[in-house]
Amino acid sequence: MSEPTVSLERTEAWGDRPVPALDLKAQYETIRDEVEPLVLRIMRDQAFVLGPEVSGLEAEMADYCQAPYGIGCASGSDALLIPLLAWEIGPGDEVVTTPYSFFATAGAIWRTGAKPVFVDIDPVTYNIDPALIEAAITDKTRVLLPVHLYGQTAEMEPIRRIAQEHGLPVLEDSAQAIGAEYRGLRTGNLGEVAAFSFYPSKNLGGFGDGGMITTHDEALGKRMARIRVHGMEPRYYHHEVGFNSRLDSLQAAVLRVKLRHLDDWAQARREVARRYHELFAKHLKDDVLVLPTEVEGRFHVFNQFVVRVRDNQRDALKESLAARKIGSEIYYPVPLHLQKCFSSLGYGPGDFPIAEAAAKETLALPMYPELSAEAQEHVVRSIARYFGERRTTRAA
């Protein structure tokens, strides 16, 4: 039997210190002096909802995303729902999207009364496969909703071409991909409307929930801004029934500080990704892991560093990392078409084999801008050791 092809030296230097999947405290330390006086000021001002901090953030986000209008709202989930409501999507309508995303992508469609229609993904990027979209379009299709998963944009050129041919708007789910680029254009500028999330684990995360919508369409932007305040304009005059999806001043103030660091953090995430590639090439001389690929013409911002684990080893590897206090996450164990709440849509196992395989095989490794080279080396050596020991056991 062949010898283990991996390095089994102990990683004593790191010892048994934990490596979390995400370390928000490390980032906070770097901006604490900027943020804390602002938070104190807002507490003293007692001006909590919308207001100048929110309009400031809206303008700065719009500028950052190369889109003319930004509309702050209460979450990324609402940032998906509000444009669908503004387009008057509802019962009888269909929205084409991916089955491999966070629940909110399909949940927003369902909430309007419309039907999510899923299309399988590309096995390399995990994003919707544009070659399969055309066949999913019917005379009921109203919107195309691609997701830029894990920080890399979907293949937008064919998606936009199909949308144009059928006269459909494109809604980008950019919750995981602020600052990501497709052929030099940023997310927020790749469709008619884009939805962003400020959930703390996103690349631009607040101190709680928050979201942002960007658009090029002024009239639509005004309508979306109205929907988030119960369809009200001016105060106490209601044009349509919206709901409350306001953004807090406190979140906006914190996010404005963080936005100024976002490009540096994106570069740091890219450096972490580059080091993973280098370390795996050095320590894991095996093809059991498939590392993420940055497709040509894209700028990946690595909200997650997701590897594919072959040979049914994903769950056991995750456990072995947990035993060594290394955090990892499974995004997403159940694809959307197999969620119980969508059973009435009539999908079943085998309908989207690429998404189903991704759900079984992928694992997100620790990824955040402050992750040190030493911690990464420990993660990679621990993975190499797992596969080395497994090989030795099998050989015995």
Ligand X SMILES: *Cc1c(COP(=O)(O)O)cnc(C)c1O
Provide the binding-site residues for ligand X, judged by CB under 6 A. Answer: 75-77, 101-102, 104-105, 147, 173, 175-176, 197, 199, 209, 211
How far is C-alpha 337 from the chain's CA centre?
A: 19
**What does the alpha-carbon distance between residue 304 and residue 363 come to, in Å, rounded to a whole number?**
10
Closer of 11 and 328 to ligand X (Cβ): 328
Q: What's phi and psi for 116, nearest 5 deg?
A: -70, 130
* Identity of the residue, 300 or 378, whose beta carbon is nearer to ligand X in the bound complex: 300
Q: How far is the CB of 128 from ligand X (least distance, A)?
A: 12
Least distance in angstroms from the C-beta of 66 to ligand X? 20
- The residue nearest ligand X at its CB is 76
Residue among 255, 250, 199 nearest 40 (CA): 250
For the chain, count helices (H), then strands (E). Answer: 11, 13
Instruction: Give the Cα separation of 339 and 222 in Å (integer).
Output: 35
CB atoms within 10 A of CB 158: 14
Which residues have CB under 8 Å from 369's CB, separation 6+? 27, 264, 265, 268, 269, 272
Identity of the residue, 176 or 382, whose beta carbon is nearer to ligand X in the bound complex: 176
Task: Using the minimum distance from each CB to ligand X, give the nearer residue, 104 or 171.
Answer: 104
Would you say 234 and 240 are in contact if contact means Cβ atoms under 8 Å apart? no
- 102 vs 387, beta carbon nearer ligand X: 102
Residue 111: CB minimum distance to ligand X, A: 12
Nearer to ligand X by Cβ, of 208 and 286: the residue is: 208
14 or 100: CB nearest ligand X: 100
Q: How far is the CB of 177 from ligand X (least distance, A)?
A: 8
Contact indicator for 85, 93 with CB cutoff of 8 Å? no
Could you tell me the smallest distance in angstroms from the CB atom of residue 6 to ligand X? 33
Minimum Å distance from CB 175 to ligand X? 3
Q: What is the C-alpha separation between 171 and 155, in angstroms, rounded? A: 14
Rounded Cα distance between 90 and 302, Å, is 34
CB of 24 to ligand X, least distance (A): 15
Q: Do the Cβ atoms of 187 and 165 come closer than 8 Å?
A: no
